[in-house]
Structure 1
Amino acid sequence: MRNLTDIYVRLSDEDRDKRCAADESESIQNQKSMLINYCIEQGWQINNIYCDEDYSGADRERPAFNQMLKDCEEGKVDIVLCKTQSRFSRDMEIVEKYIHGKFLEWNVRFVSIVDHADTSVAGNKKARQINGLINEWYLEDLSDNIRRTLKHKKLKGEYCCPYAPYGYKLNPDDKHKFIIDPPAAEVVKSIFEMYKQGMGYMRIAKTLNEQQIPPPAVYKEMQGLNYRNPNAENASSRQWRDSSIYYILRQEVYTGAVVQGKSKNLSYKNKKRVKLPKSEWIVVPDMHEPIIDKDLWNAVQNLLKSRQGNDKQFKTESNEINPLRGIVNCSECGSGMWRMSYQSGKNRYKYYRCRTVKNSEGICENINSIRQIDLEDLILKELHKLSDTYFDETQISLQTKQNNRLLAIEEERKQLEKKIAKVQNNSVQLYKDKLNGLINDEQFKLLNDNFNKEISQCNERLELIRKEIENLTSEKQTDLSREAILAKYKNTEKLTFELVHELIEGVHVGKLDPETYEREIEIHWKF
């Protein structure tokens, strides 16, 4: 046996607090040293050493852990070695899935030194399951303790996040407190002043971009903070946007309050965050120097309230929801396109314009707008074209042929299965004839080889038929789903929000050709 071994070590945040000069047993270096020496003693060959630092034992997205599992699935290793089972995972579901499930399927042995877990030892499974339960209970208790501790700190007004809000810095003497960051604070003040003077979100964003003031995410990077904007590749994310202005104008932190607890994880296992109602937020006033005084704050909040309900991006004058909301994007820069409108006489005309172009100049070349009515007409036209193509006689004939083919090969499969059963019965009878002396060994071997060959040929054909049936069935299900959707909207003459969001993933609008006055528009259907 090869005994190729993957060593896995992990150090989590919950263990980090336990470390001290007298107790380094949980350190990465000591884990590696212990496991390497164990491999040498056992005569095992090390394939790779995988390390996840600052990852919880319940985290299923550990990069090194998942790479190690990939090695196991691809048959590159025979053994996974850890210091303890908890280093592998504290999640009982993961322990059951891999150590007691997939590893057996992949022929991989799991060994942990300290708690003597070894899947090659008979009777060791119950001990591993008990270890798994204890580890999961520990993790659950730890999660509850951390939640209670954090809530206690938040109720005292201690800030519990790694980065201060834009306009502030973390106090170097107390990381739970803020001090004003003068350059950014001046920008925050100017945003509130501009809004008070009647400027809208977009106009404020455009003004800041023209002044070449970096937006919050970029500013944090320039300050040397270990901060990464996940949308940094998008040019528009390096500019001020109306959404940033919208957010800043509503942040009570600028009045001196610490506001936390706006969302929470579903559980210690599920990291999905859910928003909490404002009544459950933790707000502690007068915890740091305000950037915005009470008069300016109240004036801006009153303006925001007075302008609520006037957002033409989402609803028309008749309160009809915009059918294209959230799906129109710019093909050039990848940013969303913003719906605008203008009044001409008694009519109001709506159009879409690239959000990046609206906020700043020179970043995106898609500078020409497109009328919403033209975009809706194009989508309807393409929808009718799809319906006409799908329901024409040629397409229906093709579907009929596919259905007939499916029936034919289903029948062939049944006949082959009957034939195999018959040949197997004949083979059994042949063996009985040999035992009864009706045929000699040479005759038995010749006839039995023919039976086996016939069964093998039938099985090969059966496998091909099963694959073809699987493909045709899948195509038929897709066709039925597509048919139901297209039939539902076949004769529609007007786009609705329900129709668009059931059928369309997104609409991507390219720039206008200055010579032909045409532009490429891609519709990404959901089927």
Structure 2
Amino acid sequence: MRPLYTVNFRTKKESYKDKHSVHNSPEDWVIFENTQEAIVDEETWLTVQKIRETKHRPTKKGDINPLTGLVYCADCGAKMFNHRTGGYEKRDKDGNPTGKYTNAQDNYTCSTYSKAKSKFENRCTQHHVRTDVIRDLLLEVIKATSTYVMEHESEFIEKVRSATELQQESEAKALKKRLSREQKRIKELNTLIKKIYEDNVNGKLSDKRFEMLLADYETEQNELELSVDALEKTFNDYQENADNVDKFIELVHRYTDFTELTTPMIHEFVDKIVVHEADKSTGDRIQQIDIYLKYVGKLDVPMPELTPEQIKEEDRKRRKRAWNRTYMRRKYEREKAEREAKEKGLSEAVR
């Protein structure tokens, strides 16, 4: 269970006559730990806070897509927008509604691309992916990973810890260099601030110039201090990440049914989904989607082999896509030839 803390001195008043409060910096807070019994466990509380950070706008039907806030563009890193349309209702030959709908869409596109397109700008690319494709892949990954955990738990633990160590080793070098560089710059700024104070007192630097330089130095210093705090927190999280595999195994054992992807399952298992731009160079549309699970990140585990029925279905879909490409190409060429013939006939009539 997550212990509750009591935090005092978040705000203060400049004067007892002043009715307005101002916020104190976090280092001036006084925190008393374990002051009250927890109502929910820490993981549930953190999950809810993450959900609340993202706006989930309901559709006209009142439902909400639980993937919103979890899907990211692989190229620009921005969150992807969910677009949904209900389609239109089919009618029979007499014009009566049939109750069946067609052309309904539910997909995600890069938010950078969508925003730029509305301003007639070219930024990033669409990264279009259907929601049902993501959901099917999510269920497949969660099911395969959970099955691997239950059947080969010791191997899974070793695989996660090895992957974590390799990732941290490469990231730690870059972070360590950046941390050292920014800490060095903070010391340089302290020296520069001291120097301009002395120059201002000695009359070598005007008050206007002094205030301008001081504001610039202090702004840069504050930004660097925030960055250093974030980097130090990342280093501190490394050890915690190494122990997170136990939390993931505990999460897997809480679930017994992986036949359907539910909203609680998405929030508990999924950390983020990274969508790459589709590759059409081979004639088929191939798109890479990376699934990052909570506690273990992106992990390659043995996926179940396709059954003969599934192989047959994939082959049928591949042939259908090839036929559609051929049909659309011939249709385009035919319509192009008809337009050219029509334009040629109009030009000859004008003559």
TM-score, normalisation: structure 2: 0.39
* Structure ranking higher on relative contact order (CA contacts 8 Å, 6+ apart): 2
TM-score when scaled to structure 1? 0.27
